[in-house]
């Protein structure tokens, strides 16, 4: 009786032993591969959030493959399991297409880093400082302290301006004077203000030129270079100082006007 039981049970014992070996070795190798991928992403300076998220996905997929191999070791046909998993994955992918798009966008942003936390960017119709880059969304804070949450999908695929990547920026002004005012005097007044402002860089050189003979004014195009952090300070101060300087020198800043000539019949 014992011999018959042993002969009957032997194949099952071997099958169970094989399944246990596959499970243990498979999970062990899955852990090694997952850690290796995380270490590779760490060397590439991928953010901890993305490393953890991708590491979890890779680990789950590898363990799913091991479980299917274990089921196969028991002689169960795994083709149906694979088809079921594929169908389930397709259904989930279609249901979460927007979410997956945002995840893919977040992964691209975290890997290629078109902007970082603290940068000032303009995207999707908003301008603000990047407070946080999440897997699915990026959070901006606007200058008036509004919190803007932008999905990473359109953010990664749309146009974007990053104001913080370069150390210097050009500040552009359009300054008008009256047709009766002297162009050379106005240019000299503007140049003296530029020379007096230490925030304005000497290289690249500033530019002052007549850009337009408008309806009511002669317009100067003024372009100066500053450090990015000084952009708004120079912008506001220069506009104010030009007005004060022109007032002192008697140079008019015209406003739109129309001369009407009445003829008596």
For residue 257, pLDDT over 70 is answered with no
d(CA 172, CA 257): 25
User: Please, which pLDDT band fits residue 2 given cuts at 50, 70 and 90?
Assistant: very low
Domain ranges of the chain: 9-95, 114-162, 168-249
User: What is the CA 9 to chain-centroid distance, rounded?
Assistant: 62
- CATH top-level class for 168-249? alpha beta
Domain formed by 9-95, architecture: Orthogonal Bundle (1.10)
Determine the number of helices (DSSP H) and then strands (DSSP E) in the chain: 7, 8
Please tell me the predicted confidence (pLDDT) of residue 29.
85
Element (H, E) at 140: strand 137-141
Question: Tens digit of pLDDT for each residue in 79-100?
Answer: 666 666 666 565 555 554 567 7
Mean pLDDT of the residues in the chain: 83
- Say which DSSP state 206 is in: P
For residue 189, pLDDT over 50 is answered with yes
Question: Tens digit of pLDDT for each residue in 22-63?
Answer: 778 888 888 888 888 878 777 777 666 666 667 777 787 788
User: How much is the average pLDDT of 118-137?
Assistant: 90
151 cis-preceded (ω within 30 degrees of 0):
no
d(CA 193, CA 149): 41
Domain formed by 114-162, architecture: Roll (2.30)
- Summarize the chain as % helix, strand, coil (round to 5): 55, 20, 25
Q: The whole model's pTM is what?
A: 0.61
Report the range out of 72-86, 88-102, 123-137, 190-204 with the highest average pLDDT.
190-204
């Amino acid at each position: 009786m014992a011999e018959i039981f042993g002969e009957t049970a032997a194949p099952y014992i071997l099958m169970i032993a094989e399944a246990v070996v596959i499970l243990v070795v498979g999970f062990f190798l899955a852990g090694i591969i997952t850690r290796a991928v995380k270490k590779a992403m760490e060397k590439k300076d991928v953010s901890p959030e993305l490393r953890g998220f991708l590491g979890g996905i890779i680990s789950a997929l590898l363990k799913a493959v091991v479980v299917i191999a274990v089921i196969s070791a028991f002689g169960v046909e795994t083709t149906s399991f694979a088809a079921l998993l594929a169908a389930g994955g397709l259904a989930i992918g279609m249901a979460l297409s927007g979410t997956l798009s945002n995840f893919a966008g977040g992964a691209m942003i975290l890997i290629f880093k078109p902007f970082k936390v603290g940068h000032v960017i303009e995207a999707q119709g908003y301008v603000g400082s990047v407070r946080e880059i999440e897997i699915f969304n990026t959070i901006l804070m606007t200058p008036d302290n509004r919190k803007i949450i932008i999905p990473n999908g359109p953010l990664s695929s749309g146009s974007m301006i990053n104001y913080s990547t370069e150390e210097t920026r050009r500040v552009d002004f359009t300054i008008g004077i009256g047709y009766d005012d002297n162009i050379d005097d106005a240019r000299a007044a503007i140049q003296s203000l530029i020379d007096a402002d230490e925030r304005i860089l000497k290289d690249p050189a500033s530019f002052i030129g007549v850009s337009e003979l408008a309806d009511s004014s002669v317009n100067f195009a003024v372009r100066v270079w500053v450090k990015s952090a000084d952009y708004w300070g120079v912008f506001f101060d220069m506009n104010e100082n030009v007005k004060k300087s022109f007032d002192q020198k008697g140079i008019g800043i015209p406003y739109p006007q129309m001369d009407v000539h009445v003829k008596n019949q």
